[in-house]
A and B are shown apart, each in its own frame.
Chain A
């Protein structure tokens, strides 16, 4: 197999003639072999991300959103995980068919990830400058001195005050928000084309969350990166996303552009999620709650996985699993980018 230098094969971002999307996930399945049986964590997920675009993957814990991201990064522990079928195409090339060596070249350099818990993602016994510089030493063969200089530059980039003085500090000397900035700096180090942010602000306070999301959006604009934002926070999604994929029990149940989704959800689960968030500007008496619990992935309900919790469930929902179908206007006009995996999407969206 010839190793293609990725920079040659990749057309410049924002090139109008680009045919292949930046990232395309096709019919991805991920299973885990456990003692209790096979857990199907991801069941046929499809999505695409273009340069400069933000895709928000929304879902509760156990919906498979993080596993999908880890599969894209190629950091799943295999075994116990298995990818029985599916493709992950990065600029048209299937990453699952690549050798480990090739994937290693992409990872970090072209696709980077920001993890949720910055404290446990950083090595406590190495200085932050050393950890940041590792990117340059490993991928670009920089010397220690060069790497440290670049680390300072990066820390400046993510607005850490007195970067030069703090480059030799250790993770515990930084606050939560600052550590998350280091994570962002690390992801940005090699100016990747795609960043996957897995709950980047969940562990942070609202004021710091706003700072971090702002920084991320600014850097994304500057570098024209694709961003996959994995979160369960509908507020954060509304602030930054271009399009949204809602996941439930390992499937995508709805996709839509951000404005459309909040205005007219086409899946009862999405509607339930939107109704169950308390709002700052409203004080209702009772909060709407989706009844029941997310399903155990060892025994996903027959038919539509959401049927035991759905108020609109009919007999067909208990027997047939609904495919993800395009959503249209009442008169049949297409709604670009919209799809729903509900037998009754028409009723849900059009009332």
Chain B
């Protein structure tokens, strides 16, 4: 496999992500073996480079012509380290869920690479792809529609074993499913029940058990708690944190609730219109946001403290997210940004440590795609 040479391309929005050690494999067996190799804690396990997904817009019934594209994901790069939780936040329509689907190889990427243990999963097929899919699992948002109502809980959680029989031999499956139910805090005797007999929180636990069934290394959680009640939300979050330690998992946690993302994440990426606006550790993003969009997002979060409401300075954005089919030129946030100047319309800001912070302390010096990045504490500005 060729070394990625994307760094030379002008479309590269993130010039300073580390080079990927792509592994050379010559046969499928070698590829599968490489995918099963363990990764040290703190080493990158998933490396996303310039990932692009454009959905074509067509016209005409018989003779389809492409008239444009919805740029759902437009050049995203990040690393996921073993054992960490990477939070991805953004408004609806910013491409969070498309990223999740691309990482699961449920969608074919238009361009870019996703390296899992040094192998580009966008180009894998056959046994190797199957091995990748076993190691990357997903937890879905809506616990009501993501479970088949006509299957019992045992069948739902055991279904992954049908596709990957090597994980659990046939006679062993029932016991394995009961173990999983126990792990996620459900009574193992519920194995023959149907999803409708459970509440939302319990269903989400079933979804988590299904995600855990194949002993994955990475779990992609797409809004796993946003459909749950407050008191149940906390239970599920605690469960997920516990499981991460127990099974040594790496999470990609996609959500729009910034408080929950802060609670669970080690690093956070903020997405806007298919691009990464800012990425850094939770402290860097929440205490020292430098991108105006992050600042606006943080400022919009309602604070559960009535004392704060009189003197809290809030940035309220006007308007909606522009259509990803026709994004603004230059910086995509400029149409809603209060700092926007001519430069923002002409030059696309790159996701890099802003020039002015390069020499300063680490908290403010993290990657931010803004020409006029400025450190501003929003959370404590009460």
**CB within 8 Å of B: which residues of A?**
60-61, 161, 175-178, 205-211, 213-214, 232-241, 258-259, 262, 272-274, 276-281, 283-284, 286-291, 293-294
Contacts and interface: CB of A to CB of B under 8 A. Distances in A.
A288 B235 CA distance: 8
B237 A287 contact: yes
B246 interface: no
Contacts of A291: 235
Contact of B304 (A61, A211, A279): A279
B296 A280 contact: no
Residue from B202, B306, B308 having most chain A Cβ neighbours under 10 A = B306
B231 A235 contact: no
Nearest to A286: B238
Nearest to B263: A278
B300 interface: yes
B231 A272 contact: yes
A234 to B, nearest CB: 4
A236 B231 contact: no
A239 B258 CA distance: 17
A56 to B, nearest CB: 11
A205 to B, nearest CB: 4
A207 B317 contact: yes
Given A177-B320, A277-B259, A287-B238, A60 B303 contact: no
Residue from B202, B230, B282, B321 having most chain A Cβ neighbours under 10 A = B230
B304 A234 contact: yes
Contact of A60 (B202, B230, B262, B299): B230
Contacts of A288: 234
A280 B259 contact: yes
B302 A233 contact: yes
Nearest to B298: A280
A276 B231 contact: yes
- 3 nearest CB pairs, A to B: A235-B302, A278-B263, A289-B234
B307 A277 contact: no
Contacts of A289: 231, 234-235, 237-238
B234 A235 contact: no
B145 to A, nearest CB: 15
A14 B333 CA distance: 44
Interface in B225-242: 229-235, 237-238, 241
Nearest to B89: A206
A103 B54 CA distance: 53
A19 B128 CA distance: 76
Contacts of A277: 230, 234, 259, 304
Contacts of A232: 229-230
5 contacts: A206-B91, A206-B301, A235-B304, A262-B304, A287-B234
A176 B232 contact: no
B199 A280 contact: no
Interface residues of B, number: 48
A233 B259 CA distance: 12
Contacts of A238: 302-306, 308-309
B262 A278 contact: yes
A293 B230 contact: no
Interface string B279-291: 0001000100000
Residue from B234, B301, B379 having most chain A Cβ neighbours under 10 A = B234
Nearest to A232: B230
Contacts of A281: 286, 379-380
A276 B234 CA distance: 6
A274 B303 CA distance: 12
B124 to A, nearest CB: 35
B262 A280 contact: yes
Residue from B229, B298, B299 having most chain A Cβ neighbours under 10 A = B229
B229 A294 contact: yes
B256 interface: yes
Contacts of A274: 304
B61 interface: no
B234 A61 contact: no
Nearest to A60: B229
Contacts of A240: 309
B99 interface: no
B201 interface: yes
Given A177-B320, A287-B237, A293-B202, A205 B304 contact: no
B297 interface: yes
A209 B300 contact: yes
Given A207-B296, A239-B303, A278-B259, 14 more contacts: A60-B229, A61-B200, A176-B92, A178-B320, A205-B256, A207-B91, A209-B300, A214-B316, A237-B304, A280-B379, A283-B262, A284-B263, A289-B231, A293-B201
A272 B301 CA distance: 21
B70 to A, nearest CB: 15
Contacts of B231: 60, 272-273, 276, 289-290, 294
Interface in B195-241: 199-202, 229-235, 237-238, 241
A262 B302 contact: no
Contacts of A161: 319
Given A208-B320, A262-B304, A283 B263 contact: yes
Contact of B230 (A178, A262, A273, A280): A273
B315 to A, nearest CB: 9
A278 B260 CA distance: 6
Nearest to A210: B300
Contacts of B303: 235, 238-239, 279-280
Contacts of B316: 207, 210-211, 214
Interface in B339-382: 379-380
Residue from B235, B257, B299 having most chain A Cβ neighbours under 10 A = B235
B307 A259 contact: yes
Contacts of A290: 231, 234-235
B234 A283 contact: no
B202 A206 contact: no
A176 B262 CA distance: 25
B234 A280 contact: no
B31 to A, nearest CB: 39
Contacts of A210: 299-300, 302, 314, 316-317
B263 A287 contact: yes
Nearest to B314: A210
A213 B300 CA distance: 11
A256 to B, nearest CB: 11
A235 B304 CA distance: 4
Contacts of B305: 238, 262
B24 to A, nearest CB: 41
B370 to A, nearest CB: 17
Contacts of B320: 175, 177-178, 208
Nearest to A174: B320
